[in-house]
A and B are shown apart, each in its own frame.
Chain A
Amino acid sequence: MTERQTFEHDVLVIGAGGAGLRAAIEASAGGGKVGLVCKSLLGKAHTVMAEGGIAAALANVDARDQWQVHFADTMRGGQYVNHWRMAQIHAQEAPARVRELEAWGAVFDRTKDGRILQRNFGGHRYPRLAHVGDRTGLEMIRTLQDHGIHRGIDVHMECTIVQLFKDGGRVVGALGYDRERGRFRLFRAGAIVIATGGIGRAFEITSNSWEYTGDGQTLAYDAGADLIDMEYVQFHPTGMVWPPSVRGILVTEGVRGEGGVLRNNLGKRFMFDDIPDNYKAQTADNPEEGWRYTQGDKQARRPPELLTRDHVARCIMREVKAGRGSPHGGVFLDIAWIKDKLPHAAEHIKKKLPSMYHQFKELAGIDITAVPMEVGPTTHYVMGGIRVDPDSQMSTVPGLFAAGECAAGLHGANRLGGNSLSDLLVFGQRAGDHAARWAKAHGGGKVDEAEVAAAERAMLLPMDRASSGGENPYAIQHALQKDMQALVGIVRNEADMLAAVEKLQQFRARAAKAAAPGNREYNPGWHTAMDLHCLLTVAEAIARSAASRKESRGGHFREDFPDKSATFGKLTTVVRRGGDGSMQLEHVPVPKVPADLQQIIDENQK
């Protein structure tokens, strides 16, 4: 094969969002040689789009907050199928990770006494999200980036990894290509951390960028690692719905945190109609109390708009299906109404939600300080992913670690807003630390040349096929996204999901014919053709896992099994690659919560 470049690292981190950057910083702290691969330019990863904030029980705004409450909130939000140990570590370590960002130059919004300000968010009992207006993700990724570039990390920008290699059962290498020139790059490493984010591009309506094609989940799966919880996909309740070209772009939950309310076309605040029993005690039963909560009244309970995302998304779907939706198939999200309550409301909104103001003004021609927005659910996040050890973040394949969205366990069946950025920091740090230790203890290994050469040949196939016709990779991708949205979307049933599994086999056959005319230089058609394998793998994992769970829980809602089942509530879905290459599925027990933590959960039920 032509022009292959080879790089040697102690630790290779794949993905340079919050988790990957944090992992790389930690791995380099011990003096090891660290490589950081990113599919885009550095600092452009999806973390940049996170808006609301980083959840951490700093107790700066409400002294009653502590890690135990954050832990209990996370478990309740996840419908108790989370891995308790991850939820515990996350709640305990998040405050230190946030303070560390400040020491590295992050400039969070402040309280009156000069400390890091925290805001309310869905499912969090107290104001807990450290934030910078509605661009917290940008602040976080830029802080990590600017700190990381002075740590001696080798950054490989615009490079996509397509395969991992093992030596005697443990992972020792990775092969990819640089997007700019299309040259192959082989990375040898003592340990590899996957931090590639999510799978949103498997669906038609998504808040996710093009990068989110399930690469990390697929790399791990192909290397023999277990994936868990893949049926739990989060559909964020508020994405833009109009105009069509912006459909799916996120509208931050911060709008509701600042007092924004959801209304149907009758002008009714429909969220008051359906408050789940386990949240009744802490949810306001009238608009006035809800408003007081958003304005910091500690005696008030939160408005129902701030119930968990899975629930709000379903309520919106219900309104739309019942014909009470907005003109373009969503509902109304109104922040402009606060002018009845606050002087200078327009300025207040622009100050608190600057990117939202900007986004609607420039993309939809709408002034959110004057009129309501139209919003509807959008594919946002996958709770499932690579199964990891809660303490070390090592996957079920030795030497392979995972952190952030591509890893699973922390969020259970539904993630709370704000728990993602803290997840990236807490588990990115742990994965980097443990990967560095592993690399030190085990050193590098042998990468089989024949395997590498075979993978390189496979990468070139879409270009080879171009001369003899073949299928347009974009057309395959679009069709796949449409089918996943329709068949394995927000509301699921057995027949649809089995049809999806069937269709995915046909898509595999079509993907094998995908053709990419042109050459290897920055060729998006070729890149798209190669991404199809990952999209198909995660799509199959989602469809099969979802079909196997005969209940509704969190992000997984089935109209044929609309209720929770005690039996399934004790089971975690696992998929892995069988010896014959087919996807194997099994259910294993959800890890049992120890008595002392169970007591914390019970005490916080009130």
Chain B
Amino acid sequence: MKPATFRVWRGNQGGGEFRDYRTEIGEGMVVLDAVHQIQAESASDLAVRWNCKAGKCGSCSAEVNGQPRLMCMTRCADLPLDQPVTLQPMQAFPLIRDLVTDVSWNFAVKQRIKPFKPRPADAPDGTWRMQQADIDRVQEFRKCIECFLCQDVCHVLREHQKHEQFIGPRFLVHVAALEMHPLDTEDRLPELQQAYGIGFCNITKCCTVVCPEHITITDNAIIPLKERVVDRFYDPLKRLFRRLLGRS
């Protein structure tokens, strides 16, 4: 056991400040353990969102020493404990209190995305046939635990606040999982170009870096979607054909 200082943001929309809490760090402790210990010892109303404490639910997202992280998967031993550890809420979303932000925008965005629409069943018993090789990519996207760290780090949302025009990396991954699902028959390319705002992403790959599930968001999800959009809407030959056929 050795003591460490956690410099935790305390406050709400009305304002706040960083406050220092000193607590003992035992072997194997993660940052979320330290927060719980601080709660139990000296700040019972310290607001923090968490559930599984095993990196599976994506609730305890925050910024640890400025890095978007799951607090349950950040080991204290991996941080320089000779100086205070800074804990603050995700910056891309409105603050509720302390380390808890209002992430309801994300849930509203998902509602706007066209849902899964399967082709008719392949077999008389109502089931489908899919090869493992054809679903590996979709399964990668479906590992997403919706921690929203990728949304937090995305400069389109974080700095430019384009929440109205851009759905963010999480939901581009969601769209990719639907678009690349072998059974899906829906067409989401017009929305990707317009309402989902895929053009705002300029592939800085920050989302991929912070993803705790190691989903290759940019390379495997966003870039292929961008290619599909370009192919559909910006291919000069196709544009010509569309014009000749009188379609906009």
Contact = CB atoms under 8 A, between A and B. Distances in A.
Interface of A: 40-46, 48-49, 99, 102-105, 107, 109-110, 113-116, 132-133, 135, 137-139, 142, 146-147, 149-150, 155, 157, 180, 209-211, 242-246, 249-250, 355, 358-359, 362-364, 472-475, 478, 516-519, 521-526, 528
Contact of B131 (A110, A138, A210, A246): A110
A103 B181 CA distance: 12
A326 to B, nearest CB: 15
B97 to A, nearest CB: 4
B139 to A, nearest CB: 6
Query: Which of under 10, 10 to 19, 20 to 34, or 35 or more describes the interface residues of B?
Result: 35 or more
Contacts of B144: 142
Given A209-B53, A243-B29, A524-B46, A474 B39 contact: yes
A521 B12 contact: yes
Nearest to A60: B127
Contact of B28 (A46, A49, A246, A478): A246
Contact of B116 (A105, A116, A180): A105
The CB with the most chain B CB atoms within 10 A, among A113, A138, A355, is that of: A138
Given A40-B51, A147-B115, A114 B129 contact: yes
Contacts of A40: 49, 51, 57, 59
Given A40-B59, A525-B44, A242 B28 contact: yes
Interface in B1-42: 12, 26-30, 33, 39-40
B73 A478 contact: no
A157 B104 contact: yes
A475 B45 contact: no
A49 to B, nearest CB: 5
Nearest to A180: B96
B98 interface: yes
Contacts of A524: 39, 44-48
Contacts of A363: 28, 30, 54-55, 73, 75
A358 B40 contact: no
A103 to B, nearest CB: 6
Given A102-B127, A135-B56, 5 more contacts: A44-B57, A110-B131, A245-B27, A249-B54, A523-B45
Given A48-B56, A49-B52, A105 B181 contact: yes
B200 interface: no
B139 A521 contact: no
6 closest Cβ contacts across the A-B interface? A243-B28, A518-B45, A525-B44, A114-B129, A105-B116, A522-B47
A222 to B, nearest CB: 25
Contact of B128 (A46, A102, A362): A102
Contact of A114 (B47, B104, B115, B130): B130
A49 B46 CA distance: 25
